[in-house]
Amino acid sequence: MTYAQDMPTAADTALASALRLSVLRLARRLRAERSDTSLTLSQLSALASLERHGALTPGELAAHERVQPPSMTRLVASLEQVGLVARTAHATDRRQVVLQVTAAGSDLLSEDRRRRDAWLSRQLRELDPADRAVLRQAAAVLDRLAGA
C-alpha cells in the first residue's frame, strides 16, 4: 500500500464525521433512557463488563475497561458499597480477589437494558422497512468498527 492510498479521501472524512455525530447523538439519547442515574457511565460499564465476562480480578476488569487499576479500585469500591458487586477470594492466589455481579447488579442492568431497548424499539417502528433493513446491516458493520 502506498502513502497516497493511506490518505483518507474527502468522502471518507465526510462519512467519518457524519457517523461520529450520529453515533454520539444516538448514544446521548440512549443515556437519557437510563433507569438508574445514580451510577456513573464508568460504573455502569464496569458492571456490564463483569456480567458479560464473568468473575474477574480488579486488574482484569481494569484491562477490559481500559482504565488504570487505581481508578478501577475506587470504582469497584463504590459498586460494592451499594451492593452491586461482591468480592470473593481468588481460587489459587490468596493475594487476589475476584469480583462478580450481585443479583441486585444483574437486576439493575436488566432494567437498564429493558428501558433503552424499549425506547429504541419504539423509534425503529417509526422507520420504513427499507430503513430498518439498512440498520440491520449497519449494526454488524458498526460492531466491526468498534472492535477495531
CA separation for the pair 17, 11 (Å, rounded): 10
Distance spanning both ends of the chain, measured CA to CA? 19
Share of the chain above pLDDT 90, in %: 72
CA separation for the pair 110, 135 (Å, rounded): 24
Q: What is the pTM of this model?
A: 0.79
Domains in the chain with CATH codes? 30-116 (1.10.10.10)
pLDDT, tens digit (0-9, with 9 covering 90-100), for 18-69: 999 999 999 999 988 887 778 898 999 999 999 999 999 999 999 999 999 9
Residue 111 Ramachandran class (φ > 0 left, ψ -120 to 50 alpha, else beta): alpha
